[in-house]
Amino acid sequence: MTQSSRVFVFTDLDDSLFSSKRKHTKTSDSQVTSVNKRGEIESYATLQQQKLVQMLAALNASFIAVTGRRSSSYKHCIIDQVTNSDYAIVSHGALILNEQSALLPCWIKYLNNTYDMKYWQEKLTRTHCQLLDYFSAINCEARVRLIIDHDICTYICIKIPAHELQETLLLKINAYLQQLDFSIHGNAGNFAVLPPYASKELAVNYLVKKLNISDKDVLFGIGDSVSDLPFIRNLDFAIFPKSSQIMKAISHV
């Protein structure tokens, strides 16, 4: 690799570089990768996930998180290559952070110049109330949260409790959400209701341009959800865990 060539890794976090304590089968090789605000363990990485990070780090790669986590949750990650980074894309692409984990000013300027942010902030707030009423009406104990990150309404997070994870209910909920004037990201019992500026693809493309990526540079994309494909498809290489939603979607090939 020439001296002028750089390596960048744009990576999703949950279910890509690590998985939650609930999903992870702990072994002697398991490594803690995130904690909650009380310092309690939230997630672990398998040996294979650790080796992947180590292999890419050995190339002197710059890691850039591309995560649905909001800023505070992103900062609970304890993977050095991910948190000691010049940039991070958080809240499903709605926000880009700099190396001090502050908002990237030029990104906020871009959002304000491109989108009617006041309109979408108000629409998200109204839709949050609408969804609370909807789940109450169908007697579903879903947890519905309006995610506000750095005082910006970024998206709506919906989590269906494990005891209600039935295919007929999920299909019904998905059909209802598709009627909303938002993009919908769904994976198992988790849904995200996304305004147009909450786009991992948009944020990654913005950073690729800002970083002056050339044909001498090498770009890796790591993700697990089908919704990660748009930001990965324009990169040089794609990496998916074998148990990911993406692999299940192409299992018939």
Would you give per-residue pLDDT tens digits along the chain (253 residues)?
555 799 999 999 999 999 887 888 788 889 999 999 898 999 999 999 999 999 999 999 999 999 999 999 999 999 999 999 999 999 999 999 999 999 999 999 999 999 999 999 999 999 999 999 999 999 999 999 999 999 999 999 999 998 898 888 999 999 999 999 999 999 888 999 999 999 999 999 999 999 999 999 999 999 999 999 999 999 999 999 998 889 888 876 6
pLDDT of residue 209: 98
The CA-based diameter of the chain, rounded to the nearest angstrom, is: 61
227/184 Cα distance (integer angstroms): 9
pLDDT of residue 175: 94
Nearest to 62 by CA among 219, 226, 244: 219
Domain 7-112+198-249 class in CATH: alpha beta
Q: Residue 160 in contact with residue 137, Cβ under 8 Å?
A: no
Domain map (residue ranges) of the chain: 7-112+198-249, 116-194
Look at the block and give the residue holding tokens 């609408």: 130
Coil vs helix vs strand at 8: strand
User: What are the tokens at 172?
Assistant: 């019904």
pLDDT of residue 3: 54
pLDDT of residue 253: 66
pTM above 0.75, yes or no: yes
Packing angle, helices 200-210 and 105-114, rounded to 10 = 120
pLDDT of residue 1: 53
What are the CA-CA distances from residue 25 to residues 171, 207, 241 (Å)?
29, 35, 15
* Chain centroid, CA 87 distance in Å: 14
Residue 186: strand pairing partners: 191
Look at the block and give the residue holding tokens 């770009």: 219
In what order do the strands lie in the sheet containing 95-97? 95-97, 88-90, 62-66, 7-11, 218-222, 237-239
Q: Per-residue b/e over 20-49, b at no fewer than 16 CB within 10 Å? A: eeeebeeeeebeebbeeeeeebbbbbbeeb
User: What are the tokens at 217?
Assistant: 């540079």
